[in-house]
Structure 1
Amino acid sequence: MNTFVIGDIHGGLKALQQVLERANISQNDKLIFLGDYVDGWSDTANLIDFLIDLKTKQDCIFMMGNHEEMVLKWLKGEEDNELWRFHGGQSTVDIYEKVSEERKEKHISFLSELEEYHIDENDRLFIHAGFTNLKGVYFEFFKGMFWWDRTLWETAMALDKNIQEDDFRYPSRFKLYSEIFIGHTPTTRFNETTPINFANVWNIDTGAAFKGKLTIMNVETKDFWQSDSLPDLYPNEKGRNI
């Protein structure tokens, strides 16, 4: 069995199907999804159906992302806001106008059961965005940091590559886990189209919400596979607003 981690998808079911095929994924493999399945391309509802079915066939772990948090509140009638709609939410609203109530309830159930984070047997942390508490995720006071924080990634990028872990300047958060896998901040913001690694933090979000590609990575070997660019897969759509 191999373990693979998948970056932010944002409704791009075609991209997910491509990377699963290109990575030659079998039902014996473990799949860890870092969140942001919704808000973007037109297959959001179909993607959720696909993920629900996939979980019945193999070992899958699904993280909560900031977009799931917002969509779940909207689906439950708790919150609606213009900023969310501008950043991909409107596409989700349009999609769910055509979704039956029964199907919608299944999606609400799926989204309600998403994980805040996952720590595997090798002390690797999988989380959508990051965390801020110096003692780790168990001690995070505001759980929303798990799907909104960017300070973990910013700290990793700013870290001097010559600083070793035993240096007093080395960030305490990085010492808590053997590796940390995140999404949330597209690598395309830094003119990179592939996963980026700083210290022990791996960013797997390669901009599938915008003009980038979806990435799946083997967590042991760091081999990765990518889909076609999402605008090529959905040529008549715009994806998320930047």
Structure 2
Amino acid sequence: MGKLFAIGDIHGCNKELELLLTRLPFKDSDTILFLGDYIDRGKDSKGVVNTILNLAKKYNVITLMGNHEQMFLDFFYDKNTLEAGAFLFNGGTTTLSSYCSELGNFEFPKNHLDFFNNLKLFHETDDYFFVHAGLPELPLEEIKQRPLIFLEQFLWVREDFLKSNYQWNKTIIHGHTPILDATLDNQKINLDTGCVYDGKLSAIELPEKILYSVPKINEEATGPEIPGRRRSVRYSIVLPITIDLGEGQAFFETINFSDHGMLIYTITSIELAFTANQIIRGIIGSTKSQAYFTGRIKRVEKKATGSFLAIEFIQRPACINPI
């Protein structure tokens, strides 16, 4: 029986992935398992997927779903949702940039969409259970019988799982929560060492529990600039906007949104006095995903249907609780 190599969160860091793969001593009989979060934040999400697909042509490769792949699918199938907004605010614009054609369109190859749509929620061996984020405090057999019920824990959980002393009778190998160095104990092994945050990309060889890592190669990831054009891509997406008025709030919705600004219209019935060049601050989104922004009003239009503001970001949206 061959060995198994598990790899932590990649987040678009394809050069680091390629370098790490050259250092892993896997053979034809071995298995390479990825713990999810292949995309977002880093510069080359498309390259990461290509690297994994090419690897799968030669070796036994297992790919798990991460929360960022779930957010991508939410965005891809319905852009007018808060979940789609969560994708954009959590590094999704760099993923879109990597899939941007010379004409400014986002082109997702069929084999890449198949990749995203066929990711596994978990994998297990005799001694190990692999999942992106973590597990509920329940026996593994019960979890496996009703996996969709526990999707939130598989993809999103942090503190409840990390602090748990529950005995699952197998070592849980996961990522999702970035740390400085991979943890090694008999209960949990965390392989997310924050490569995209100037940390490392890490892997483990099993059953020997040998750790491998490569450092971040510093490159600036930018938003999706269209080749040959000066302006960034605008997404037609409806998101709630709350603007701080000092002694109150005004409520808007987006008409479109880009990495550099947005066009919004008021859903507040009272008359609002906004002027060009005015600096405003507020929150984009609600409930699960919210992002602070600071912007300058570039244009104000008042129509019978309400006030429209064209806003240029001074401080790009930053998630209140990054995910």
- Give the TM-score band, short-chain normalised: 0.7 to 0.9
- Could you say what secondary structure the match of 2:98 adopts? helix
Which residue in the other structure is 1:206 paired with?
193
For 2:137 and 2:162, how far apart are their aligned partners in 1? 15
In the alignment, is residue 125 of structure 1 matched against residue 141 of structure 2? Answer: no
Looking at CA atoms only, which structure, 1 or 2, has the larger radius of gyration?
Answer: 2
Per the alignment, do residues 212 and 89 of structure 1 end up closer, same or farther by CA in structure 2, a change over 3 Å counting? same
Matches within 5 A, 1:138-157: 138=144, 139-140=146-147, 141-151=149-159, 153-156=161-164
For 1:144 and 1:55, how far apart are their aligned partners in 2? 28
C-alpha deviation, 1:198, in angstroms: 4.8
For 1:228 and 1:112, how far apart are their aligned partners in 2? 30
Asked whether the 8 Å contact 1:153–1:201 carries over to 2, the reply is no
Which residue in the other structure is 2:89 paired with?
86
Which residue in the other structure is 1:109 paired with?
114
Which of 41-50 and 194-203 deviates more?
194-203
C-alpha deviation, 1:199, in angstroms: 4.9
- Could you say what secondary structure the match of 1:202 adopts? strand
Which residue in the other structure is 1:32 paired with?
33
Which residue in the other structure is 1:168 paired with?
none
Matches within 5 A, 1:32-51: 32-51=33-52
Matches within 5 A, 1:1-242: 1-77=2-78, 79=81, 81-98=84-101, 103-120=108-125, 122-136=126-140, 137-138=143-144, 139-140=146-147, 141-151=149-159, 153-156=161-164, 159=165, 171=166, 174=167, 176-187=168-179, 193-229=180-216, 233-237=217-221
Asked whether the 8 Å contact 1:131–1:149 carries over to 2, the reply is yes
C-alpha deviation, 1:47, in angstroms: 1.1
TM-score (norm 1): 0.80
Q: State the superposition RMSD in angstroms.
A: 2.5
Asked whether the 8 Å contact 2:101–2:107 carries over to 1, the reply is no
C-alpha deviation, 1:9, in angstroms: 0.3
Asked whether the 8 Å contact 2:36–2:65 carries over to 1, the reply is yes
Higher helix share: 1
Asked whether the 8 Å contact 2:178–2:193 carries over to 1, the reply is yes
Per the alignment, do residues 28 and 199 of structure 1 end up closer, same or farther by CA in structure 2, a change over 3 Å counting? closer
Per the alignment, do residues 145 and 3 of structure 1 end up closer, same or farther by CA in structure 2, a change over 3 Å counting? same
Residue-by-residue CA offset, 1:169-205 (whole Å, 9 max, x unaligned): xx2xx2x332110000001xxxxx2211355110010
Asked whether the 8 Å contact 2:174–2:188 carries over to 1, the reply is yes
Residue-by-residue CA offset, 1:81-120 (whole Å, 9 max, x unaligned): 3333222111112222228777432211111110010011
Uncovered stretches (5+) of structure 1, i.e. residues with no partner: 160-170, 188-192
Per the alignment, do residues 135 and 178 of structure 1 end up closer, same or farther by CA in structure 2, a change over 3 Å counting? closer
For 2:122 and 2:13, how far apart are their aligned partners in 1? 22
Which of 73-82 and 21-30 deviates more?
73-82
TM-score (norm 2): 0.61
